[in-house]
């Protein structure tokens, strides 16, 4: 990939590497030496000696300094300028450190107004996640780069990329873990819960020492607010096409961003106080004096306005700043600056910027589009100079200039034919350390990284103040040492490959496989992009799906949330036993009975009393559906009889105050059958019309529910299950093995209705406790001939967030979600309502089915599809919204392994 030399620095060479400016200096030295030597009446030979001595004493000024990337006469000018400038600043002195802070105020919580010697300006900041595009296949990578090149080609304003190296800030995570440890009652009575918190504490303490988190920002500039808002919208829309979402930085985080250079220690309360919405001093005093019939004089008004404007500056200004030739001392820490000024080669590699950004330094990449007239001017000048410089007898130099001309020709083609943007590119390394030795180490590492990228990085000796000004997000350029780069070369350097997630809680889900950055995940975190709490986990057997689900369930239980697991394969029985949870066996009625006639007290809205009549009406509809599933040969007349007779049955039992009734207070199927057998119609026409249906119901119900009938153990009796513990595992193994049967579908419908009732009631009984429903192997609940179970899952996913709840579905067979058009429509709607997706290893058919389902959300790339067909155990793709996806390796500490693993740790096999 061709990269031009710095075009604007090309000069006409008079002889060898001496350009016209050097020639002027030589002429000046010669003139000065001649004036000194021949200005008196000394003998000629003495005049010649004086001339030669003076000339030789000054000619060294044109010697190039490789260390400083300039001739020595330029270096002398820098030194003189540095010596004559203010070098020491102190807070609230004549040389106040506030003079070094360009940030005037924050507007609307997200825009920063700046001022400097060149005027006022505005900027806003976005944060974005990295994307390791180099892991993708060639087609995906080229497509991504093409989209991004189009974005850069449309940009009209200066913008800045920032890479901030950071260790994981887990102070809040540790604090939350400690607070939960102190407040959760189970810690005192349950050793498992206690150990979980202790091991979590150890995990987060270990993260303190990891410094592999890169935070990425994008800054855009304008001189006017209307323009800035326009650019803001354009950038957001443009980057949406690249699947790189831009999240606006606001509030206290924006103050932290403005503070990233000087790193002043600012308390959280001071940052909060800056944003306090109250009448400012100026307005308060003005209103007070107006009410008294007085006026503020100009002097007082200016003083009040000054105090108000300097509020942000005062917040950010350090105590002391001292400029040295090679570094800056800020209070008790040191800063130094390095910049990329050129490349050693006319060829750079794809990903060239990755080596540069692989740095422990703060990296600031300023990019300013060069307008059409300037592009034409500098390119015309460069071509003319190349043509003039080519008139040399040196074949080597002629060949070199010829190659440079070809690179320029390609650049002109990019600009004229492909309408590519040309940018003034200025990459700055901000080295920060508590010691000078640390500064030197960072500078050395940056030099080494630059060599890998065929780049020249120079220390800004005597230019530290100018480098600082270029690094504090002012629209103007104080160094003027940028290199011209095309949109293509910028994009193909793509260095933003690291990503991480920290939701601020105490659940370490895993680490990204691209950068080993932690993924700290809060299932119930709500943001503008994360509006629900449900999740689906895909994976073939042995991929790590069940272990991950157990890890999530364990965490939710430990932090005090209610967990209900529908378990068709008895995966969670051991975990249930270890956590002393409820285990409910469904299917054979082993120690379990569910009374289908027990009326569920389901609260629909807060503070609204639900009448007994409404509860009975709703429940009879549910029982009617239960009977229709259990006996599909019942016709509409039969079901109508069952429904209205059930209503009369409840009336005859004088069911009242349902909320207060115990399980044993409700009638059972035995009572209902007895009622059916003795029922007498009051109307002869009704008797004639319904008698056969009544007899039919009496006979089949008596056979199946009484006298050891096939449903007597499970459904004829009082309900003996409850949710008196925060973990309940409902074993549906025997049901699922018979799921295609009418019995299996009906039983499943009944238990799911019972669970849904529990979810809504949990919310209104305890609004602070969240509930998590885990449906394992959800594909086994799908029957194309009977959609009731799938409809339940769809409705629950859609509504559970209103009840502080989450549904977690796990499945291994995505193709089961495509059994029919009706199934596909429901599953598509369900997937669209699910916030989080975790995909483990899949076979090719599974990958294709999943990709089809997510086509409208965040379609899998070809590389991701290939990765998923061979992903190691415990590795997968984790999506937290429509835009952000991580390649993740699930993490288990030793305690979690002991609690969850049944066959040992298979992740390394």
* Number of domains composing the chain: 2
Distance CA 341, CA 425 (A): 9
In a domain, 28, yes or no: no
Q: 126 and 361 in contact (C-beta within 8 Å)?
A: no
Q: Which of 742, 732, 721 is nearest to 588 (CA)?
A: 732
* Neighbouring C-beta atoms of residue 208, cutoff 10 Å: 13
pTM surpassing 0.85? no
pLDDT per position as a tens digit, 292-344: 555 555 655 555 445 555 789 999 999 999 999 999 999 999 999 999 988 88
Does residue 311 fall inside a structural domain? yes
Domain boundary at 682, 702, 720, which?
A: 720
Q: Tell me, what's the pLDDT at 499? A: 78
pLDDT for 791: 81
Query: If you compute the radius of gyration of the chain from its CA atoms, what whole number of angstroms results?
Result: 37
Any domain includes 668: yes
CATH number, domain containing residue 712: 1.10.8.730
Q: Can you give the pLDDT at residue 909?
A: 41
- Residues of the chain under the 70 pLDDT cut: 8-20, 39-40, 135-137, 209-212, 277-309, 385-398, 400-401, 587-590, 602-609, 736-741, 783-786, 816, 818-820, 856-858, 903-909
Domain for residue 136, yes or no?
Answer: no
Q: Which of 720, 745, 768 is the last residue of a domain?
A: 720
Predicted confidence at residue 491, as pLDDT, reads 94
Q: Choose the final residue of a domain: 685, 720, 755.
A: 720
Domain of residue 612, residue span: 593-720
| H-run or E-run covering 368 | strand 362-369
Give the separation between CA 552 and CA 548, rounded to whole angstroms.
Answer: 6
Torsion angle, CA of 368/374/378/379, rounded to 10 degrees? 90
CA distances from 861 to 45, 139, 522, 545 (A): 82, 10, 26, 22
Q: Is 653 domain-assigned?
A: yes
Assess if residue 276 is contained within a domain.
yes
Instruction: Provide the pLDDT for residue 515.
Output: 73
Is 895 part of any domain?
Answer: no
What span, in angstroms and rounded, lies between the C-alpha atoms of 629 and 427? Answer: 69
* Bridge-based pairing state of the strands 333-343 and 328-330: antiparallel
878 in any annotated domain: no
């Amino acid at each position: 990939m061709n990269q031009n030399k710095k075009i604007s620095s090309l000069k006409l060479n008079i002889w060898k590497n001496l350009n016209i400016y050097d020639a002027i200096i030589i002429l000046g030295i010669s003139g000065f030496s001649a004036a000194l030597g021949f200005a008196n009446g000394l003998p000629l030979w003495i005049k010649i000696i004086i001339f030669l001595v003076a000339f030789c004493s000054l000619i060294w000024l044109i010697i190039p300094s490789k260390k400083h990337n300039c001739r020595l006469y330029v270096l002398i000018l820098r030194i003189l300028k540095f010596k004559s400038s203010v070098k020491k600043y102190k807070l609230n002195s004549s040389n106040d450190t506030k003079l070094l802070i360009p940030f005037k105020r924050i507007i609307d919580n997200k825009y920063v107004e700046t001022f400097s010697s060149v005027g006022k300006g505005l900027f806003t900041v976005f944060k974005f996640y990295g994307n390791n595009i180099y892991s993708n296949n060639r087609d995906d990578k080229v497509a991504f780069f093409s989209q991004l090149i189009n974005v850069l080609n449309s940009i009209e304003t200066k913008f800045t990329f920032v890479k901030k190296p950071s260790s994981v800030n887990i102070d809040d995570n540790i604090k939350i873990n400690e607070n939960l440890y102190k407040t959760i009652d189970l810690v005192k009575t349950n050793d498992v819960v206690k150990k979980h918190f202790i091991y979590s504490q150890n995990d987060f303490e270990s993260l303190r020492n990891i410094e592999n988190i890169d935070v990425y920002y994008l800054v855009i500039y304008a001189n006017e607010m209307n323009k800035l808002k326009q650019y803001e919208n354009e950038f957001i829309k443009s980057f949406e096409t690249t699947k790189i979402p831009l999240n606006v930085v606001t509030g206290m985080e924006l103050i932290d961003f403005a503070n990233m250079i000087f790193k002043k220690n600012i308390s959280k309360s001071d940052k909060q106080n800056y944003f306090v919405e109250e009448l400012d001093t100026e307005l308060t005093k003005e209103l007070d004096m107006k009410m008294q019939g007085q006026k503020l004089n100009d002097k007082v008004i200016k003083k009040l306005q000054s105090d108000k404007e300097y509020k942000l500056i005062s917040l950010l200004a350090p105590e002391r700043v001292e400029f040295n030739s090679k570094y800056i001392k800020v209070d008790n820490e040191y800063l130094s600056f390095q910049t990329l000024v050129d490349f050693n080669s006319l060829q750079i590699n794809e990903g060239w910027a990755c080596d540069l950004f692989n740095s422990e330094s703060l990296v600031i990449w300023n990019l300013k589009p060069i307008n059409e007239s300037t592009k034409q001017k500098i390119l015309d000048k460069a071509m003319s100079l190349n043509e003039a410089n080519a008139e040399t007898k040196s074949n080597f130099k002629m060949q070199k200039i010829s190659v440079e001309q070809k690179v320029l020709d390609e650049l002109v083609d990019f600009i004229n034919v492909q309408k590519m943007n040309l940018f003034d590119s200025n990459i700055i390394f901000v080295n920060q350390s508590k010691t000078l030795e640390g500064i030197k180490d960072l500078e050395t590492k940056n030099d080494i990284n630059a060599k890998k990228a065929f780049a020249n990085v120079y220390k800004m000796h005597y230019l530290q103040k100018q480098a600082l000004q270029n690094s504090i997000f002012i629209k103007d350029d104080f160094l003027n040492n940028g290199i011209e780069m095309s949109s293509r070369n910028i994009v193909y350097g793509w260095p933003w490959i690291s990503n991480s997630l920290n939701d601020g809680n105490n659940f370490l889900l895993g680490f990204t496989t691209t950068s080993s950055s932690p993924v700290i995940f809060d299932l119930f975190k709500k943001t503008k992009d994360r509006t629900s709490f449900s999740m689906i986990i895909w994976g073939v057997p042995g991929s790590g799906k069940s272990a991950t689900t157990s890890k999530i369930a364990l965490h939710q239980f430990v932090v005090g949330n209610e967990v209900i697991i529908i378990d068709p394969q008895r995966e969670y029985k051991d975990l249930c036993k270890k956590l002393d949870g409820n285990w409910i066996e469904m299917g054979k009625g082993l120690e379990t009975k569910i009374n289908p006639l027990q009326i569920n007290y389901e609260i629909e809205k807060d503070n609204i009393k639900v009448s007994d009549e409404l509860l009975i009406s709703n429940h009879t509809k549910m029982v009617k559906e239960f009977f229709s599933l259990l006996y599909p040969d019942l016709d509409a007349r039969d079901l109508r009889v069952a429904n209205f007779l059930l209503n009369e049955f409840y009336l005859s039992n004088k069911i009242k105050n349902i909320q207060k009734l115990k399980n044993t207070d409700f009638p059972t199927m035995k009572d209902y059958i007895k009622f059916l057998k003795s029922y007498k119609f009051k109307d002869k026409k009704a008797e004639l019309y319904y008698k056969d249906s009544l007899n039919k119901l009496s006979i089949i119900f008596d056979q199946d529910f009484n006298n050891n009938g096939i449903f007597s153990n499970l459904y004829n009796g009082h309900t003996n299950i409850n949710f008196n513990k925060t973990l309940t595992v409902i074993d549906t193994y025997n049901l699922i093995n018979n799921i295609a049967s009418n019995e299996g579908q009906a039983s499943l419908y009944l238990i799911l209705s019972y669970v849904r009732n529990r979810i809504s009631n949990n919310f209104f009984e305890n609004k602070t406790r969240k509930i998590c429903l885990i449906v394992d192997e959800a594909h086994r609940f799908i029957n194309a001939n009977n959609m009731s179970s799938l409809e339940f899952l769809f409705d629950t996913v859609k509504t559970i967030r209103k009840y502080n709840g989450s549904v977690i579905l796990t499945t291994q067979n995505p193709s089961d979600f495509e059994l029919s058009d009706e199934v596909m429509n429901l599953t598509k709607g369900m997937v669209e309502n699910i916030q989080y997706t975790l995909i483990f290893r899949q076979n090719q058919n599974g990958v294709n089915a999943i990709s089809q389902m997510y086509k409208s959300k965040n379609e899998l790339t070809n590389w991701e599809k290939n990765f998923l067909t061979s992903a190691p155990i415990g590795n997968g793709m984790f999506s937290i919204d429509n835009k952000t996806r991580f390649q993740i390796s699930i993490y288990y500490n030793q305690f979690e392994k002991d609690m969850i693993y049944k066959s040992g740790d298979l992740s390394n096999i």
